[in-house]
Structure 1
Amino acid sequence: MGLIYIKIVFLILFVNSFISISLYLNYRRHAQFLNLTETIIQTSTNFNITNSNEFNILNPNKYDHLTRHKENFLTYLPHDGFNNQRIELENAIFLAWFLNRTLIIPPFLYFVGVTPIIAQPYDKLYDLLSRFIHPNNHFKENKITFCFSEDKTESNFRGIKDIQIFDANYNTSSYFQENQRNCKLVSYTLYNWENLIDFSFVRRHIKYIHRRDFNFKHLVESLNIDPNTEVYNVPSDEYPYQVRYYDSSESKAELGKYKKRVNLITLSKKPQKLMHFGNVYPLSRITKELQKSKNFWEKLMNKMLPNNPIIINVVNRIVDKIGGMDSFIGVHARLGDGYFVKNKDKTVQGLIKRIQEDFEEISIKNNKPSLPSVIFLATDVKRNDTSLQPFFQTFPCVYTLDDFSDLLEPLKFLKNPRDGMVMYEFLIPLVDLMVISKGSKFYRTNRSSFSNYARRLNKIK
């Protein structure tokens, strides 16, 4: 009996010792994690270091070497809508890769309807962007008023020339009468790109962190750098097409519509901790002639794909409803703003002509019907817009997103985790774009970045 008692005592002591040692080791691991996380946060306050589609996820295993004294950074200023900001992001990823700098990614500035932020000189663009903030005790809504004068030239697609931004409560009536400007109240949200686009390729090739706002003071304080000596502002765009960047110093490529040449190899030698670009739109901004540049860019273009599972599910259900992938043709008619408004009848007639000519040729060669049986039309105007009527009269079976409102319901439950904004209205254009890319053929609106992205997705499909 005494022997059994002794064995039980030893067993209890052993178990207690094992538990104590385990708790101690867990404590050490937890303390190391906290210390490591604290170090990361100290070097990146106001940023999210991320390795997933969610906000506020720190990944110390991936970025435990991201310390201020070792890193050189690069950032830029976004403008315009989804597709223009996406192009700017892609260009910035290339620049960060080529210049071997950690990319600071601005939040995606998402608007419902008209996008007020257009390409501007560096200082003015920064001032405009800094007005967009997350709701707080003093600012309870993601709404802002902008007033603008019209641009009578065709150089500006949306017809906006000069902009003034005010908070949501600003009384614009007197301002409008005095300055004879148009004023609009718009909803916006600041969104994380990784909630929309697959970053797996990017993650393998560059280091990046997410910026939380457009406040320059916050930026330099977060990095703990001197704005006077440790920031290099790449020559800002006094004009929309002022600077063009070249990956090869031996390039003979002409400037084209740009006014100044900057060699990336020259920028790579800049010692400042932060290299701050202004406008890095459009795709032609960077001339890529080195083979390594071409290879990287081609892979990047094939990997920057929408990956939000809720959006993808909605798109797939719509595509299935109209017969499945490749059972229809996708058409994009941009008619609702600036240059496109002035040319909407011409755009529609051009789309009709191109489709008829293509399918007439198909019927001659393959003895198939001369007109497609099913078309999905993405457009930024209402179905009853007079400019669209010739399209509906020419083709007997045309679907638009309005025909599938019931399938869009899941989007009403998708919220921005940063501010609680329901993303439904923001995401509708992206759903439209993704559906048209699933067709067997795709017809685009010339000069539209929306169309160009849909065409890219259609080719990758």
Structure 2
Amino acid sequence: MNGGGRPRWKNKKASGRSIFISSLLILFLVFFIFYKEISTFILPLSTQSLSSEFSQCEVKTVEKFLWYAPHSGFSNQLSEFKTAILMAAILNRTLIVPPVLDHHAVALGSCPKFRVLEPKQLRFEVWDHAIDLLKEGRYVSMAEIIDLSSISTVVQTIDFRHFVSLWCGVSLNSLCSYDPNIQIPLLNNLRKCGSFVSGFRGNVGKCLYALDVDCRTTVWTYQENDSDGGLDSFQPNEQLKTKKKMSYVRHRRDVYKNLGPSSEAHLSTVLAFGSLFSAPYRGSQLYVDIKESPKDHQMQTLLRKIEFMPFVPDIINAGKEFAQKNIGAPFLCAQLRLLDGQFKNHWKTTFSVLKQKVEALQQKGSHPINLFVMTDLPRSNWSGCYLGDLASNVKSFKLHVLSEREEVVKRTAAKVTAAFDGIKRTHCSRQSLDVLLFVEETICSCASLGFVGTAGSTIAENIELMRKNKVCLRDDEIEV
């Protein structure tokens, strides 16, 4: 005892409790003060008030927009863009024209294996990448590459950059600033805006309807008799269900009935899809199955128009110019995809088809054979494969390639940039556009001795479509 007072150990306990409570109060105060700043970096999980944080829902416009998330390589992005045009026409919405994304900067996953990125995550990755392209001066709109004149009277469009400025209430010119006090807050605001429009906060009244369905559960149709809600012919098999522990069921849903005038989605200013990529698989389509519209003649016309959408005239003229001036003779085109994904395992088959075509031409007695090659295999690595054999046989073959250093490519990139910037707002100083692939495809469409493409390549499919539509035989004036 201590003079009849309290035991000393009790005084220590009381003191420790006081320090503990004080520490908690300080921590709570610090968290409260910095909560707003902290929430900026945890966008998908934040529960901030929409009314205080976002102005999107207050944007006054009579337009209703359609947004989606393109992905993978350019040919897949083009395929999705065509589907988006169709969806926008059916739903009478203004299509937000996306940028051309870097090759496989955003990946969907595998629909046949029922393993894909969630729509909201896919949308946010596309948004993030598009902002990076703007910031780095590498932004190229799909409308700069593809000629939209044929659909301009049917579908209204808005450039993604214009939509972002309108919807997020920001000036994208500020992205060009080197001042971190300007750029960092702007990027944070754009990320929050992207998170919102991607659907991380769910659907918001008449403001946003963000679809969370994808190819695992849905096949979109249009004007199919009594098929709305029915089961699709392609379903995950029992082995896959057991292995992946999945319970997905694929239903066929009419896009107009589910998202049109009589739906909740129709009330929203922005309707956001995830991926719109589709392809035939096991007797069905992976996501969108709209092939004909016998009851809607306008839609029938649009379906024919989007089947083939050419490059802008400057790109087509560049390909024709190279074919006429640099090759200057009948030639064979070989599109050889050898390094990307599944194609790196099929060199033997790819070269076998080319070899058969070359030997058939040799038997006709034309020497040397002019061959234009577009490939992802660097020329320094041609030795040891069939391409090396062709290149070394200069008496029998004359090989032609195109690179980004060619004057025709540089000139075309400058023309495309100038043509688009003349009618659209420009935000940051832009790097030279990469138009090499598109010019190469046009050159291949001009190959009068034939075309050999890599099986399964969407690039080869696009070239075949260009050849079918006789792009090279059109009477566009070649501008030198």
Per the TM superposition, whether the score is higher than 0.5 is yes
1:286 correspondence with 2:288: yes
C-alpha distance in 2 between matches for 1:199 and 1:411 = 18
Alpha-carbon contact 2:318-2:409 (below 8 Å) kept: yes
Tell me, what secondary structure is at the counterpart of 2:128?
coil
Q: Which residue of 2 aligns with 1:301?
A: 307
Q: Which residue of 1 aligns with 2:333?
A: 330
Tell me, what secondary structure is at the counterpart of 2:274?
coil
Q: Which residue of 1 aligns with 2:267?
A: 272
The 5 Å alignment of 1:144-293 reads: 189-212=138-161, 217=193, 227-230=203-206, 231-237=208-214, 242-250=217-225, 255-256=233-234, 259-267=250-258, 268=260, 269-270=262-263, 271-273=266-268, 274-283=270-279, 284=285, 285-287=287-289, 288-291=291-294, 292=297, 293=299
Q: Which residue of 2 aligns with 1:82?
A: 74
> Match for 1:452: what amino acid?
E
1:71 correspondence with 2:69: no
Q: Which residue of 2 aligns with 1:127?
A: 124
C-alpha distance in 2 between matches for 1:190 and 1:80 = 16
Q: Which residue of 2 aligns with 1:99?
A: 91
Cα gap change, 1:98 to 1:346, in 2 (>3 Å):
same
Alpha-carbon contact 2:333-2:371 (below 8 Å) kept: yes
C-alpha distance in 2 between matches for 1:131 and 1:316 = 36
Tell me, what secondary structure is at the counterpart of 1:131?
helix
| 2:100 alignment partner, one of 98, 108, 117 | 108
Map Cα deviations across residues 309-349 of structure 1 (whole Å, 9 max, x no partner): 2x34432331112445x822222111121111122332222
Q: Which residue of 2 aligns with 1:23?
A: none
C-alpha distance in 2 between matches for 1:380 and 1:438 = 20
Map Cα deviations across residues 67-101 of structure 1 (whole Å, 9 max, x no partner): 95643322211111221111111100011112222
C-alpha distance in 2 between matches for 1:243 and 1:81 = 23
Residue 382 of structure 1, CA deviation: 0.9
Residue 353 of structure 1, CA deviation: 2.6
Alpha-carbon contact 2:97-2:141 (below 8 Å) kept: no
Q: Which residue of 1 aligns with 2:370?
A: 374
Alpha-carbon contact 1:319-1:435 (below 8 Å) kept: yes
Q: Which residue of 1 aligns with 2:399?
A: 398
Tell me, what secondary structure is at the counterpart of 2:129?
coil
| 1:442 alignment partner, one of 445, 448, 451 | 451
Alpha-carbon contact 2:146-2:311 (below 8 Å) kept: yes
Cα gap change, 1:380 to 1:78, in 2 (>3 Å):
same
The structure in which a higher percent of residues are strand is 1
Alpha-carbon contact 1:413-1:422 (below 8 Å) kept: no
C-alpha distance in 2 between matches for 1:403 and 1:68 = 44
Cα gap change, 1:341 to 1:218, in 2 (>3 Å):
closer
> Match for 1:272: what amino acid?
L
> Match for 2:460: what amino acid?
S
C-alpha distance in 1 between matches for 2:68 and 2:367 = 46
| 2:464 alignment partner, one of 451, 455, 458 | 455
Cα gap change, 1:371 to 1:355, in 2 (>3 Å):
farther
Tell me, what secondary structure is at the counterpart of 2:438?
helix
Unaligned 5+ residue runs, structure 1?
1-44, 47-66, 143-187
Alpha-carbon contact 2:124-2:194 (below 8 Å) kept: no
Cα gap change, 1:108 to 1:323, in 2 (>3 Å):
closer
Tell me, what secondary structure is at the counterpart of 1:79?
coil
Residue 411 of structure 1, CA deviation: 4.7
Alpha-carbon contact 2:374-2:440 (below 8 Å) kept: yes
Map Cα deviations across residues 375-407 of structure 1 (whole Å, 9 max, x no partner): 211111112434883145356222111498344
Q: What is the TM-score of this pair, normalised by structure 2?
A: 0.60
> Match for 1:353: what amino acid?
Q
> Match for 2:467: what amino acid?
N
C-alpha distance in 2 between matches for 1:99 and 1:82 = 25
Q: Which residue of 1 aligns with 2:18?
A: none
Q: Percent identity?
A: 21
> Match for 1:132: what amino acid?
H
Unaligned 5+ residue runs, structure 2?
1-54, 109-116, 165-189, 237-249, 280-284, 391-395, 471-480
C-alpha distance in 2 between matches for 1:124 and 1:262 = 23
Q: Which residue of 2 aligns with 1:30?
A: none
Cα RMSD after superposing both structures: 3.6
C-alpha distance in 1 between matches for 2:316 and 2:350 = 29
Tell me, what secondary structure is at the counterpart of 2:267?
coil
Q: Which has the larger radius of gyration?
A: 2
Alpha-carbon contact 2:323-2:443 (below 8 Å) kept: yes
| 1:117 alignment partner, one of 87, 106, 109 | 106
1:431 correspondence with 2:439: yes
Q: Which residue of 2 aligns with 1:347?
A: 350
Tell me, what secondary structure is at the counterpart of 1:286?
coil
Residue 265 of structure 1, CA deviation: 3.0
Alpha-carbon contact 2:372-2:400 (below 8 Å) kept: yes
May I ask how many residue pairs the two structures share in their alignment?
330
Cα gap change, 1:124 to 1:316, in 2 (>3 Å):
same
C-alpha distance in 1 between matches for 2:301 and 2:405 = 40
Q: What is the TM-score of this pair, normalised by structure 1?
A: 0.62
Cα gap change, 1:204 to 1:339, in 2 (>3 Å):
same
Residue 206 of structure 1, CA deviation: 1.2
Q: Single out whichever of 75-84 and 313-322 deviates more from structure 2.
A: 313-322
C-alpha distance in 2 between matches for 1:281 and 1:378 = 25
C-alpha distance in 2 between matches for 1:255 and 1:276 = 26
C-alpha distance in 1 between matches for 2:232 and 2:401 = 42
Alpha-carbon contact 1:332-1:378 (below 8 Å) kept: yes
Map Cα deviations across residues 424-452 of structure 1 (whole Å, 9 max, x no partner): 5x222222222111212222212211111
